[in-house]
Chain A
Amino acid sequence: MAQLEEVSIDLYKHLVSERALSGETMLLNMGPQHPSTHGVLRLLLELDGETIVNAIPDIGYLHTGVEKNMEAKTYVKAEVMSDRLDYMNNLGNNLAYCMAVEKLVDLDVPERAQTLRVILAELERINSHLVWVGTFGLDLAAMSMFLYAFREREMILDIKELISGQRMMTTYIRPGGLWRDVPVEFEAAVRNFLKIFPKRVDEYEALLTKNPLFLDRLLGIGKMDGATALQHGVTGPMLRASGVNWDLRKARPYTGYEQYDFNVPVATEGDTYARYVVRIQEFRESMKIIEQALNKLPLGPVRSDNRKFVPPPRSEIGVSMEALIHHFKLWTEGFNAPNASVYSAVESPRGELGVYLEGDGGPKPHRVHWRTPSFENLSVLPEIVKGHLVADLIAILASVDIVLGDIDR
């Protein structure tokens, strides 16, 4: 048994108020093991009674060295690490990474793969928001919300299992297209989900949106204006809840988002309730996109036929010597990317998910950096919790929608 060490506040001296040094206010440790921190996040709180004077987030408990690991693998093999970053948005992370690789080596993606990517990214957005609305309810003592949200999430996980064989770590989107075409059951499964889900969102809204207990906990809590949000690099629904209409799907359309008719929900209040409203509306907008994409889903290949970067289909390997060579070269050595760097960003459920990818002429990336939205979204927390109660901190933290795998990388 290790000896308990005397803890000094010297390290945090410049971050707490004068009153903490004289012992007037209390320093309280929250986490890293705490149900409402949504993972291993530690918060050091300076409290005056129940009121928060300062909050100091301490992250890094889930740091796994993803960026270093990716540098040691070829471009295709490194992709499996992307699923593990933001484990609520696996396909979205695959998409961000593949878009960066495609930009680096200048690779085209066929139309069918583009449309399927949109469907999958939007399903993943719904999936992520479902976990968020469930845990948000759970943190605010609306426990049944959690059960309902996870019931619907199960349908999306089933669809992911159907297409990739995995419920979470899919690695389904690959540089140059998709791993393989979706099975015939896919369309029916998605249509079934689209039929059931709108009613379920109505149910969530009936449970929460006008619930007086819910409103009491949320209205006017954790207010943040658009300028503060941008200064701290906050993006995604948090930024849009503060009145800034910024969505990469509209501003810089990728994978054909410009073809779909959808709105970007914006709220101006910037409080915890506004963040809830924005995300609930995003459910409906995502469903609109999925429906349009499913209706126009073209037939055709789902992988680029540029054999220098994309492996040939299984059927060709038995009959074509050239295909066999390509297959062998791609899975042993990998493809070479130019000695240059690209930055490519997508709108993840949490905000701008960017990948900085630098090649060095060889088959392995020289540097991969993930600009993960949760990291910036959490960094604004000390600003917006000041003056609120500890119970409000739970609501604010839940409304930020952090994923610790996304923050610590």
Chain B
Amino acid sequence: MNMDTKLEPIVQALQEKFNTSIEEFRSEVHVFVNPADIVSALTLLRDKYDFELLSAMTATDYWPQQSPRFHVIYQLSSLARNITIQLRVPVDGVDPKIPTATGVYDVANWRERELKDMFGIIPEGHPDPRILLLPEDWGDKHPLRKDFPLGYEEVQFTFNFEDIDLRKPYAKE
């Protein structure tokens, strides 16, 4: 255990207020927060402990495990104190959703849209929940989920060009 001494009071405050659990790896601190508490936890960190920057926001999928299937990850940085902390929110696999953090950090706007595209985690109360990175007619598929296969395109050579051409999907005219 070699947690940054500057982090200890912050982690303690989070523990008391939101009943969180802690994990540490290579002196990075991961704090597990319930989905219902995440907005107030982020607000507390931003306003009281100077975490001005939401460095990264992403998710990870633990399929076939269903509950919690996803972890949503908030990587926060404090410029004034030069510390980082990671909040992890376990999200259930059935009807996954998180409350939006756009009210706390503007950058969460695009990041949550990306999560909606890639994992199908719905940000509740998001002001602009359009599709971001995927094509507009992509449908209800989420490529970064573990049950989404990694596809490929068959390579066409002169001897089998036409065979493959017949079964190759093209965009509809």
Residues in chain A within 8 A of chain B (CB atoms): 1-2, 11, 14-15, 59-60, 63, 65, 67-69, 71-72, 103-104, 106, 230-233, 235, 244, 246, 251-252, 340-343, 345, 352, 354, 356, 358, 366-367, 369, 371, 375-376, 379, 408-409
Cβ contacts A to B, 19 pairs, < 8 Å:
A14-B128, A60-B131, A60-B135, A63-B133, A68-B144, A72-B150, A104-B26, A230-B79, A233-B106, A246-B79, A252-B82, A343-B75, A343-B84, A354-B75, A356-B56, A366-B60, A369-B58, A376-B107, A379-B107
The reply to whether A367 and B82 contact each other, CB–CB distance below 8 Å, is no
The reply to whether B73 and A356 contact each other, CB–CB distance below 8 Å, is yes
The reply to whether A232 and B60 contact each other, CB–CB distance below 8 Å, is no
Q: Which residues of B in the span 52-95 have a Cβ within 8 Å of any Cβ on A?
A: 52-56, 58, 60-61, 73, 75, 79, 82, 84, 86
A246 to B82, CA, bound (A): 10
Q: Which residues of B in the span 7-64 have a Cβ within 8 Å of any Cβ on A?
A: 25-26, 28, 30, 52-56, 58, 60-61
Q: Which residues of A contact B60 (CB under 8 A)?
A: 341, 358, 366-367, 369
| CB contacts between A and B, total, < 8 Å | 92
Q: Which residues of A contact B163 (CB under 8 A)?
A: none
Q: Which residues of B contact A72 (CB under 8 A)?
A: 150
The reply to whether A371 and B150 contact each other, CB–CB distance below 8 Å, is no
- Contact residue among A68, A244, A340, A356 (Cβ-Cβ distance under 8 Å from B75): A356
A60-B134, A67-B144, A369-B56 known; A231-B106 Cβ under 8 A? yes
Q: Which residues of B in the span 118-159 have a Cβ within 8 Å of any Cβ on A?
A: 127-128, 130-135, 143-144, 148, 150
Q: In angstroms, how far is the closest chain A Cβ from the Cβ of B133?
A: 4
A230 to B76, CA, bound (A): 12
The reply to whether B55 and A345 contact each other, CB–CB distance below 8 Å, is yes
- Contact residue among B109, B133, B144 (Cβ-Cβ distance under 8 Å from A408): B133
A68-B150, A356-B58, A379-B110 known; A340-B25 Cβ under 8 A? yes
- A-B pairs, top 3 by smallest CB distance, nearest first, are A233-B107, A371-B56, A60-B133
List 18 extra interface pairs beyond A14-B127, A14-B128, A233-B55, CB under 8 A. A59-B133, A60-B132, A68-B143, A72-B150, A103-B26, A233-B54, A233-B107, A244-B79, A246-B79, A340-B26, A341-B25, A366-B60, A367-B60, A369-B60, A371-B55, A375-B110, A379-B110, A408-B133
The reply to whether A367 and B79 contact each other, CB–CB distance below 8 Å, is no
Which residue of chain B is the closest to A103 with respect to CB atoms?
B26
Q: Which residues of A contact B173 (CB under 8 A)?
A: 1-2
A203 to B166, CA, bound (A): 58
Q: Which residues of B contact A15 (CB under 8 A)?
A: 128
The reply to whether B53 and A230 contact each other, CB–CB distance below 8 Å, is yes
Q: Which residues of B contact A409 (CB under 8 A)?
A: 133
A244 to B79, CA, bound (A): 9
A85 to B52, CA, bound (A): 27
Which residue of chain B is the closest to A72 with respect to CB atoms?
B150
A299 to B143, CA, bound (A): 46
Q: Which residues of A contact B143 (CB under 8 A)?
A: 65, 68
- Contact residue among A231, A340, A371, A408 (Cβ-Cβ distance under 8 Å from B105): A231
The reply to whether A343 and B86 contact each other, CB–CB distance below 8 Å, is yes
